[in-house]
A and B are shown apart, each in its own frame.
Chain A
Amino acid sequence: MSATVRQKVMVLYLGTSALDSPVKGWSMYDGTGKDSYTTGDSSVPPYNNGLDALLDGWRVIQIPTLIPPYPGEEYTTSFMKYPFVFEKLEEVDA
């Protein structure tokens, strides 16, 4: 039986633009189909900070871009500002 590769994706919403800052929110998606995740399924973050994810074998594939506030919107809060996207590739049976 041949093996093929599938992607697992994790988004960590961190406390600052630093990769080693604390995790404030998290989302997980498993392209291998082994695990499934949904809103509100965990109250404990998978890692304390982004660096811990690297130490566990995750690869960063996107870091947040710092965008200055639009004039007049300097005090407005909206989306989480520091989403870091990670991936792991896993072999599955084809």
Chain B
Amino acid sequence: MTQTLDKKYLLNSQQMAEFVARGFIRFDGLVPDELNEAAMRDIDNNAIVGAPAGTPLSQCYEGTSIRQILDMPEIQGIIQSLVGADPLFDHDAIHVREPNQGSAQGLHADSIIDLRTNFDIQIMYFPHDIPLEMGGTLLLPGSQYRRVNEMDIAGYQNMLGQIAMVCKAGTILVLHHGIWHCGRQNKTDRRRYMFKVRLNPQVPQYRLWNTDDLDESYSKPKEIFAGRRDENSIQDILARGEPWFEAASGRLEVVNRIKQWRYLTGDDNFDVDYWLTRLENMPV
């Protein structure tokens, strides 16, 4: 489905800034129960079959519950805002965590080390309730710009501010491709399921979301270190640290976010707390 989408389904600039800062955005209970039940039936019947890598997403999953979920205008709006209206299918997986597992998966970033400023997204769909004892995907907010190669980081067992995806059926989690994550230990006597699909943009990721809320004032320089003035302003969202950030590297993470925001908006002068403008001052 690639027809024109009502703007109201697109992400707004605050949501985009949250994604740029934290590397994820979640929508709890977004998929209705009847589709969650259909998805569980399709999983049980092995009816969910992917496609060759590089297939337009619009051509995937015909006749399945996953197609119906992807065609929801809310999901289309998320996809379109981040990677364009018809991104390419990369790969998918139905991740299963067996009951009463002895340990969790090691922390990792998917694929291999990735130097791009443009990004893929991974949509994770949780078709049934996930209580804490069942595990849920663990993710580390703000880790997406760290250059690591897959399981190199498996020695990190716990990080301050990590999020365990405890959620209701129908929850959608959208991740930047670089986010650190893993499947937590399932301590229940039931199998845990999660469907994941990775998508590649086919278009430049330039102002794909609803930018109506980007007025002329949002990027104006503010006084440095004056405290956070407006919790929801773009600059403040991008400046907000994560609990696990080291003092020094945490500043570099803000720079990483500024560079990502510049890429997404085409505004090469955008800054937060003067971090890049100071370095770019080259009097002649």
Partners in one complex: yes
Instruction: Determine whether the beta carbon of B152 is less than 8 Å from that of A38.
Output: no
Chain A residues lying within 8 Å of B155, measured Cβ to Cβ, are 11, 27
A81: which B residues are within 8 A, CB to CB?
246, 248-249
Q: A16-B246, A75-B252 are in contact. Are A80 and B158 (CB under 8 A)?
A: no
* B104 lies within 8 A of A25 (CB): no
Chain B, residue nearest A29 (CB): B157
Interface residues of A in 63-94 (CB under 8 A from B): 75-82
Contact of A40 among B146, B148, B157, B248 (CB under 8 A): B157
A2 CB within 8 Å of chain B: no
Q: Are B157 and A78 in contact (CB under 8 A)?
A: no
Cα–Cα distance between A78 and B156 once the two chains are bound (Å): 13
Q: A75-B252, A78-B146, A78-B148 are in contact. Are A38 and B160 (CB under 8 A)?
A: no
Chain B stretch 220-252: residues in CB contact (< 8 A) with chain A: 243-249, 252
Total A residues in contact with B, Cβ cutoff 8 Å? 29
B244 and A24 contact, CB distance less than 8 A:
yes
Which of B148, B152, B185, B244 contacts A41, CB < 8 Å?
A: B185
Known contacts A39-B156, A43-B162, A77-B252; 17 further A-B pairs (Cβ under 8 A): A11-B155, A15-B247, A16-B247, A24-B159, A24-B160, A24-B243, A37-B157, A39-B104, A39-B106, A40-B182, A41-B104, A45-B158, A45-B160, A75-B255, A77-B147, A79-B152, A81-B246
**Can you list 14 A-B pairs with a CB-CB distance of less than 8 A?**
A15-B246, A21-B247, A25-B157, A25-B160, A39-B103, A39-B184, A40-B158, A40-B164, A45-B158, A76-B147, A77-B253, A77-B256, A78-B148, A80-B246
Q: Which residues 40-60 of B sit at the A interface, judged by CB distance below 8 A? A: none
| Contact B246 A82, beta carbon cutoff 8 Å | yes
Interface of A is mostly: loop
Interface residues of A (CB under 8 A from B): 11, 13-16, 21, 23-28, 36-43, 45, 75-82
- Bound state CA distance, A42 and B156, in angstroms? 12
From A73, which residue of chain B is reached at the shortest CB distance? B147
Interface centre among B106, B158, B244, B249 (most CB of A within 10 A): B158
Q: For the complex, is B145 an interface residue (Cβ under 8 Å from A)?
A: yes
Q: Is B107 part of the binding interface, using a Cβ–Cβ cutoff of 8 Å? A: yes
**A38 and B103 contact, CB distance less than 8 A:** yes
Chain B residues positioned under 8 Å from A24 (CB to CB): 159-160, 243-246
From A14, A21, A41, A82, B158 is in contact (CB under 8 Å) with: A41
Of chain A, the residue at the smallest CB distance from B142 is: A77
Contact yes or no, A77 B185, CB < 8 A: no
B105 within 8 A of A: yes
Interface centre among A21, A24, A36 (most CB of B within 10 A): A24
**What are the residues of chain B within 8 A of A15 when measuring CB–CB?**
246-247
